[in-house]
Structure 1
Amino acid sequence: MQKLGLLGMGDVIEKTSYDLRRNSYAGKILIFSDCQHQAESLQKLHGCLIQPSVEMVCKGSNVFFLMSAPEKITGFTRDLQRKLQGTLISFVPGLNRSNLKKLFPQARCFRAVNSFSATQYQSEVALFPDAPDVRRLLGYLGNLQVLTDELDFELATVATCMNGWIYFLLHDLQQWLSEKGLPPEYARRLVLRNLQECLITSSNQPRNSFRALGEAQAKPNSFAANGLAVLNHQPPGAAWGAACEVVLDSLLN
């Protein structure tokens, strides 16, 4: 039976364990946690096997998810890089496969990125490079996309950051309505309703670009078209593109 060791801390371990079990992963999950409450919860809810140390997780597993924060990876691997054998799937952003193989010379090294979406939705997972056994395992986490180019993988990592940015756009729209006099709760509902309509329409019409769908809503001489003319004159996309470039540059360097 496959024995999967989760090397990381905090919420990311909880979300990963949840996704694996929700999608019927039947293998053993080994973890180490400094937090007794978290360890007991994961053991009770997801059948995780609690280990007394990270070293014991490595010793008892044949497949690993590396999920530490980027700034902790050097210190974290110092004691483990020579001991860890088997298949290593790194979820650490900015750590390219070449450097990953140098840190873990005895392991089969792969990279993955997970959107870690809210629990009621399937996560989006990207894998580089491809391998059938790794593909099957990551399929338990959500919708899997295999990538053949590492730069494409970095772009997929940039996309995971967009989730956090969109909240600020929603905040600005709600704030404007509230400042004009609408009750904040009602303004929030209106903004969310618009977002939900966009998501439903986009999902139902996958062959139409986002731009085409937007143009269908903002028909000539409509109120929506008047607002769109202002947005086109002062394109918000420039700021979004600049934010993406900054994240991509930090991942590559």
Structure 2
Amino acid sequence: MPKPASPPSQQTANLLRQDLHPALPVLGILGVGHFASYTLAGLRRGGFSGQVVLSPRNAEVARTLAKEQSCLVAGSNQEVIDRASMLLLSVRPHQLADLLKDLTFRSDQIVISAIAGISLDEHRAAGPLPEQLVRMIPVCSIEAGEGIIPIFPSHPLVEALARFTGTPVALESEEQFDLALVASCMNGWLYEFFGDLADWLTNKGLPEDKTREMILHNIRGATAYGLLKKNETLQDITQGIATPGTFTLDGLKQLRNQQGISAWTKAMDGVLGKLKA
């Protein structure tokens, strides 16, 4: 099991103060695509005013982000590293070794990896990385400043950065982190589910401009209520609502009979199986 990252060195602390905004890191992003776009949008919306330096590889996206999110585009990936105190890796797993080839990091730098499905040991096998290496799962909801951001191992500066976009949760092992990754996949599945429900309402006659609000606010209300009732299991909340004679219970029985609920956990089993393969 990889050992937790060491506390930030004094040199790292000094680097963090080099930005125009004290205590904010100079953030470098290696891999500028969809993930970088919503992460940056979430950081800026959450009040992060530190300098951000982008990899030039995806030139069109980098130029757009530089304009929209007040970032700098570096001339090379090495320049990104040279300018930054904290680096964010956001490439596909098979691209990591090529990305790291011929790059040199400073020993005190903090590297955050948003690369799904590869362990810390596999990261290190792909190329020379500094001691402070942290895995993180930021899903697209962070653009709205919502959601959980799983982190392993715990690192105070990484958690401080994540708080600009949501709620960081430090996990105790990579096994726990992988389970959190499975849960984050559910985030993407939900939108198709919401869309099907909205289409049903529209097809039955509810105005289209009302269906989206109806579905999303019902879901938001349900999650808020679940978070409020911390002393009840989620199943207990259901039982308290779906009582005999209610329409809620009628619909719930149909979902159970057609495996509409168990299908979700089967999908999670499938993702976890691929992670362990």
- Place the TM-score, normalised by the shorter chain, in its bin: 0.7 to 0.9
Shift in Å at residue 106 of structure 1?
4.2
Structure 1 residues 115 and 206 mapped into 2: Cα distance closer, same or farther (>3 Å)?
Answer: farther
Tell me how far apart the structure 2 counterparts of residues 204 and 126 of structure 1 sit (CA, whole Å): 21
Aligned counterpart, 1:28? 51
Q: TM-score normalised to the size of structure 2? A: 0.78
1:159-170 to 2 correspondences below 5 Å: 159-170=183-194
| Structure 1 residue ranges without an equivalent (≥5) | none
Structure 1 residues 188 and 248 mapped into 2: Cα distance closer, same or farther (>3 Å)?
Answer: same
Instruction: Please say which of residues 91-100 and 191-200 is displaced more in the overlay.
Output: 191-200
Structure 1 residues 73 and 37 mapped into 2: Cα distance closer, same or farther (>3 Å)?
Answer: closer
Q: 1:131 aligns with which of 155, 161, 173?
A: 155
How big is the alpha-carbon RMSD for the aligned residues of Structure 1 and Structure 2?
2.5
Structure 1 residues 88 and 192 mapped into 2: Cα distance closer, same or farther (>3 Å)?
Answer: closer
SS at match of 1:145: strand
Is 1:240 the counterpart of 2:264 in the alignment? Answer: yes
Equivalent pair of 2:27/2:85 in contact (CA under 8 Å)? yes
Q: How many equivalent pairs are there?
A: 250
Is 1:195 the counterpart of 2:216 in the alignment? Answer: no
- Using the aligned pairs only, state the percent identity: 27
Which structure: greater strand fraction?
Answer: 1
SS at match of 1:126: strand
Is 1:231 the counterpart of 2:249 in the alignment? Answer: no
Residue identity opposite 2:134 in structure 1: F
1:1-253 to 2 correspondences below 5 Å: 1=18, 2-34=25-57, 38-80=61-103, 83-85=104-106, 86-108=109-131, 109-117=133-141, 119-177=143-201, 181-183=204-206, 185=208, 188=212, 190-253=214-277
Shift in Å at residue 183 of structure 1?
4.3
Shift in Å at residue 41 of structure 1?
3.9
| Structure 2 residue ranges without an equivalent (≥5) | 1-17, 19-24
Equivalent pair of 1:116/1:124 in contact (CA under 8 Å)? no
Tell me how far apart the structure 2 counterparts of residues 77 and 92 of structure 1 sit (CA, whole Å): 13
Tell me how far apart the structure 2 counterparts of residues 149 and 211 of structure 1 sit (CA, whole Å): 27
Residue identity opposite 1:243 in structure 2: A
Structure 1 residues 175 and 18 mapped into 2: Cα distance closer, same or farther (>3 Å)?
Answer: closer
Tell me how far apart the structure 2 counterparts of residues 121 and 137 of structure 1 sit (CA, whole Å): 12
SS at match of 1:127: strand
Q: TM-score normalised to the size of structure 1? A: 0.85
Tell me how far apart the structure 1 counterparts of residues 191 and 80 of structure 2 sit (CA, whole Å): 37
Equivalent pair of 1:113/1:126 in contact (CA under 8 Å)? yes
Tell me how far apart the structure 2 counterparts of residues 154 and 55 of structure 1 sit (CA, whole Å): 30
